Amino acid sequence: TTIIIEHRLEEVLAAPVDRVILIDEGKIIADIAPTELLKSDLLSKCGIREPLYITALKRSGLSLTEFPDLTQVDQLVSPKIAAALAKQQGTFCSPSKKKTPLLTLKDVSFHFSKEPIIKGIDITLHQGEMVSLVGHNGAGKSTWSILITGFLPFQKGELVC
């Protein structure tokens, strides 16, 4: 018996798990086969992001009920799926060519106790941009977002709006 404790469902699905026990606010919400969980709306009800390939399949207009196994993304290959996904290409808005600065961070730093979390960030975000902040756990993503929203004060540097 192996128990995997993980908040990223894609990581769980990389292993051949027999069932997923979904917990929310300390209670078991579901004890279900992985494919059945992916076909349900339980993940969104519990605030868990579904795997991106599931979102892509849904947006392409394909019904998840027609797939006997949704756990192995590399097995979800067919001309029908490719055609449905191809129809969706280009439906996202292109970034604005106009670069109007919305927010600029100049030499921003922040630390908890003596542990530096944010170190001398210089960046400008432009109006209309779609930006992804990516990094491993503890890299400073949440702290960065808390700083730019004003919930914590900068310890060094400035924010220009």
**pLDDT tens readout for residues 120-142:** 888 888 888 877 777 777 788 88
Q: Between residues 45 and 129, which one has the greater pLDDT?
A: 45
Q: Give pLDDT, residue 37.
A: 93
Does pLDDT of 114 surpass 70? yes
Q: Give pLDDT, residue 96.
A: 58
Query: How far is Cα of residue 76 from the mean position of the Cα atoms in its chain?
Result: 21
Mean pLDDT score, 55-84:
85
* Statement: the pTM of the whole predicted model exceeds 0.85: no
Give the whole-angstrom CA distance, residue 119 versus residue 112. Answer: 12
Q: Measuring CA to CA, how many Å separate 146 from each of 46, 53, 86, 118?
A: 23, 29, 37, 11
Give the whole-angstrom CA distance, residue 147 versus residue 153. Answer: 6
Domains of the chain: 9-88 (no CATH), 101-160 (3.40.50.300)
